[in-house]
Structure 1
Amino acid sequence: MMRVSSITLVLSAFVVLLFTGCDKYIYEDLEECPQGVFISFYHQTPCMDEPTAVGEVDGLHVFAFDLHDKLVKIERVAGMVDLVKAYKVELPPVEKGQYSFIAWAGGTDKYFSLNEYIVGKTTKEEVMLTLRSKDGNALALDGHQVWRGESKVVSLPDRKEFGSVFDEVAINMLEVTNRLNLELKLHESVCEELDIDDFKITISSANGTSLINGRMPLGAAQLTYPGTEISRNESSVRLAYTLMELKSGYNNVLSVYNTKEDKVYFKQDLLGKVLLENPNVNLECTHDFDIVMEIEDKCKDCPDNHLVVHIMINNYTIHSYAVELANRY
């Protein structure tokens, strides 16, 4: 009985060696041994204590770059992908070396023009995607989310010496899209004088193009983002916007224009003068914004102009902006 047990143990060990090892029992030359990296995904901003799953995304691109930032491998997954903790992508680089991995999720050709990625030629500094547009007007993203992340450097040893080696790396996927719900209200002091239907709200930015490395090229064309009307009544209108990444220096502008008077009531830097006026806003962590703008006449019976625009960002009131007299009359 003990002899049978011994034989069983030896056979079990041989089976493990046969199917998990990469040696002369399977390969005559270790250079033939497979190597690769298993890539998983998670989401954790600087404001989060624990990582979470990314969840469902529409399309996934995973790039492997060498130390010279040249593309050595790309994996594309079309359609809806659920980036849960257990989901992994396998990328086998072509030879030993050091590699970094960049992942983009949500880069679907429904909303974006995608670059042609060529192994051995494409670099991290080349264009990843460009938001579709026509005549300077961006295609409505309608709440669509885009994510990006980059791994640490992974080193794969020489397979001639070490045989089959599979490493694992996790990529922190950070969102690069933003959702703005904007409400424009008329204070009771101006309801008789102004009509909410005469106002046009415009949000524009030169942020429609993203590089594989996550940067955005300067000097790109400014795009006007469409707003989806949520509600409207006699004194207010609510619109929803989905924007690409918001960074200073990309001509991010929020304006409120009265078409009947042909006057601009408000025109400011969307970041510097609006969103970031709320000290609780961290663009690395916050991607949903509720903006309330209210036009009020501070002295209705005064002969001079006392119109102001009050602004609230995520329930935090920032200072009011005066409607310039020269601009309105």
Structure 2
Amino acid sequence: MGLITFRDVVKKYDTSLIVNYLNFKIEEGEIFGLLGPNGAGKSTTINMLSGLLELSGGDIAVDGRSIRKQPLEVKRRIGLVPQELAIYETLTARENVTFFAKLYGLPGKLLRERVDEALRFVGLLDRAKDKPSTYSGGMKRRLNIACAIMHRPKLIIMDEPTVGIDPQSRNHILESVRELNRLGSTVIYTSHYMEEVDAICSRIGILDQGKLIAVGTKEELKRQAGQAERLVFEIDRRDEPALAEMEGHPGVKRVEESDDGRTLIVTVKDSPSILQDLLFIIQKHGIALRQLTRIEPNLESLFLQMTGRTLRDE
């Protein structure tokens, strides 16, 4: 049994089905990326998991507790980093984290220790007495994280935590996610930046139109989609017999050529075993190879293939 289990989870608004019978598990210790184009149901799913929205059907279990039957027990195990900043500009950083620590019922000495620990973790302990109005956008995002982790939750949900910040702050947050995971927290991570998900997530789920259309490691998803590598050959001239021989190779899925025939894009099932054959064909026909480039399948192309949209499509 996973740390988080979705069982036939449904969310309806009037007659509109926003989340459509989700069934999947997230294992303890994972950094799980939840991807989907706008309107796919990601925020709705996260809001149901964190107890901010009621389910229309099904159930979600966190650490064996039902969000329907034991909502407070579930919420105690979750730290939520929302996309919209959940901090108070009129309070200092320490007062912000203290406020949320009290909501979780942390007592006196332990509360003070956890507040300092959280601020130290996000690199803001030296600015603890300052108000967020004096912070940069990246610092506010880091304070947002501190408010979510001071009770050491088993599950941390991070919804677009790097929106609108500079690259240095983004790298700091990504490293913080890795460190939180190393310290024992399971993380659910959503982002519009595919490179972030690629860099930190151990497994990925793709939502589209309220349905989970794929889930697995990056390698598993690529196999599910039947994605293949592409080899780009830049040659000195067009050659019909060579092109026909390439197209007839059992390991070649497709051959595309430029208008002048001097660039061939060959989609293959297994490039290491086929590459030598293709190079032999080129050499046999007396063609000069000017450049060879391998294009491996990536999450961006995988996502586009599965949803018909890019991750940043509105």
Q: Specify the TM-score bucket, using the shorter chain as the normaliser.
A: under 0.3
Q: Which has the higher contact order (CA 8 A, sep 6+)?
A: 2
More strand by share: 1
The TM-score normalised by the length of structure 2 is: 0.27
